[in-house]
Each structure stands twice: as structure tokens, then as C-alpha cells.
Amino acid sequence: MNKQPKIAVVGLGYVGLPLAVSFAKHFKVFGFDINPQRIEELKKGIDRTGEVESEQILNPNITFTTDEKVLNKADIIIVTVPTPTDKYKNPDLTALKKASQTVGRNLKKGAIVVYESTVFPGCTEEVCIPILEKESGLTWKKDFFVGYSPERINPGDKKRKLEDIVKVVAGDTEQTAQTLANIYGKIIKAGIHIAPSIKVAEAAKVIENTQRDINIALMNELAMLFDRLGIDTRDVLQAAGTKWNFLKFEPGLVGGHCIPEDPYYLAYKAREIDFHPQLILAGRRINDYMPQFIAQKVVKLLIKTGKVVQNSKILILGITFKENVPDVRNSKVAELIKELREYGIQTFVYDPIANPQEVKKYYGIELLRSPEEQTPYDGIILAVKHNEFLKFRLETFKEWVKEQSIFVDIKGIYPKNLFSRHFSYWRL
């Protein structure tokens, strides 16, 4: 490996772009993506995800392109494409396989291919490497080498950036692993952990989000239980959280393309070896049910306040899968909206962060230009904790609604005692 290797990053989304701009501080980088619009925007210093500043994107050390032939110039090729699930909740490796074909066609001798996409244990060696060999005509561990370094970027998190999160790396040989540790070590301040094998690194990544999914599922199940008991879940968690070893998870809608997807990858591999996971899938069932549960609660609240459910008007604040992030893919708020509409409820969505064109594309929903656009409403649902929503005050909400209206605070961010005096207030 050259002392100053050239690095290519395949896929320039939430994971690939921050990686590319960080490496560009030390190396020559090729940023490759199949989306021409994305490449043109990046050439102008525009990142629609809001993760990277313009001056970092315009670093002359980075070449953004849709020309796959640049991969042949790279000593290290890092693949950061999405790995979702299909409608049957099985791994959808389409993007990963296509990326491997593209890399294989342009793979030069001596190069190292690194996968950062989340996969099930064994995927890199069982699925990706055979494609690389077939497309390149080269032999693994002789003509090229492979590593795995799971992405850990937390979109929208300004405190824990790429450089501040410990990086796990693994290689097909000790030398590959050490080379990757040295390369990533140039940009990661928090340190490098070398896993003993690629499978271990793959498994480590997939259980990180599985563990989080199960913990949130427990909170969601408790929220449903306490709702029946007439107990406020947030009050219970606040009291329990005074113990030093209580894990401070909260109930909520679990969307995005990590936490809701990764457990299915692990479950898929488990079934393949005739092991039938129970807790992993139980957590998924609970979290997938939450939009339906909240919709049912909204209907009950409307009835309780004397509203006619059919054609009642509800303002929904937020549709992205996470606060202060524009990404709307796999948004559970969209599922909540679908559930509400099945009851005949009119839903109006305001989200200052989301891209209106993407919301229209994925869900057929027209975003409001302002919350006041369709006033008065029969109720309001706070679905996403955007910073802008934290500035809203009680008097503002009161101006938007009719008398005897409901307020569903999914994220529990507004003062319960105050809002309960003016609304039929409920929080998850």
C-alpha cells in the first residue's frame, strides 16, 4: 500500500459524504455516486442532507463523479450504499450487489475493498467477495483484499460526528486490518478497535441497533400498559430514572433505515441456520405496531371530547424519521398518517425540515407552507422533536384549534400540567 493511497467512496449519502470529506483532509479522494443530481449539487458545495458544510465539500482533494472508471485509480474503495429490507422484511441487497459489480469491474490489483453497509454476519464473504472475483477476474487474498468497517454515523448529531466515534475495523488478513486501522486512524480521533474477523465486525454492527430496538420496544410496551392503567409513562420513567443503573430509553416511533431494518438482517441469518429468534422479532412487532396504537388513541380522544371522527382536522407537526434531519424515508409518522386517514380523519402536515418534493414522492403528501394554512384544527399531534417546534408556545397552539381540541404529544416535550388545562392532552 502506498504511503499516500488514493481513496474512493462509493455512495455519497449520510454515511459516504462525511467519510469522503474527512479523508480528503489527508488523501486524494474520489466520491462516486450513480445519482447525477447528487453529484451536480456536491460540485456546487450543496449537501441536501445538511450533514456537511459547503467549504468541506469544495475541498480540491475530492473529485465527485458518476464515472465508475475512477475506481480503477483507487488503492482503497469504501462501499457505503443502503441495505434496506423488502416488503417481506428480508434483506434487500440489490444496491450492495450492484455496487460490488461496479467495484469489481474497475478493481485494480493490490486494492482493498472496504464495506461499511450494515449486513448480516457472513454477508461480505458469502455475497460480496464472489461478485468482486467474478467481475474483476482477480483472486481474493492474492490480487485484492477486503475489509469491513461498520458505519456509526448518527444523522443530525452535531456532538458525535464521524471523528468522535470509535471506529471498528476488520480485514481478511492481519495486514489488511492493520492497514485499515492506520488509514481510518488518520481521521478518527476517538480511536480504532480492530475486530478479530469480518464476521465479528458485521455482527457487532447489526446488534448495536438491535439492542436499541429492543430497549425502545420495552418502553413502548410499558407505555401501552401504563395507558390502560391510567398512569403517565413519562412520570414513571422520570421516577425510575433516579436509580443509577436504570437505562434511560423512551417510547416513540422507530423509523429510519437503521434501527427498524437491522434486526431483520440478524433474524434472517438466524433462520438460515435453523435458529428461530424470539426476542429480536418481538421487539420489531411492538415497534411496528405503534403507529396503529397512537392512531387508535387519537380516535378515542376525539370521541371523548365530543368530536365527530369522520372529517375531523388534525395538524401533524413533523414527518421526518428523526428530529432536525430532512430524511423522510421509512418514516413511521407517514404510517401514522395512513392509519388516521383510514378512520376518515383529515391530516395536514407541517415540517420545516423535510423536502416537500421528497415527501410528495414517497408518500403522496403535500406539506403545508405554514401551520396556519388550514386552521382551525380539531387537534394537533407533535410527532417529531424539531428545534423549531420547541419554540412554539401554548398561546400559539390555542390560536390554531377549535374549542375542546386534542393535543397528542408523542415526544412528551411540552409541559403536561399546563397543556392539560387547555387541551385534551395525551403523551406517549
Q: Rounding to the nearest 10 degrees, give the CA dihedral for residues 227, 229, 230, 233.
A: -50
123 labelled catalytic: no
Catalytically annotated residue among 42, 169, 223, 258 = 258
**348 and 314 in contact (C-beta within 8 Å)?**
yes
**Residues with catalytic function:** 258
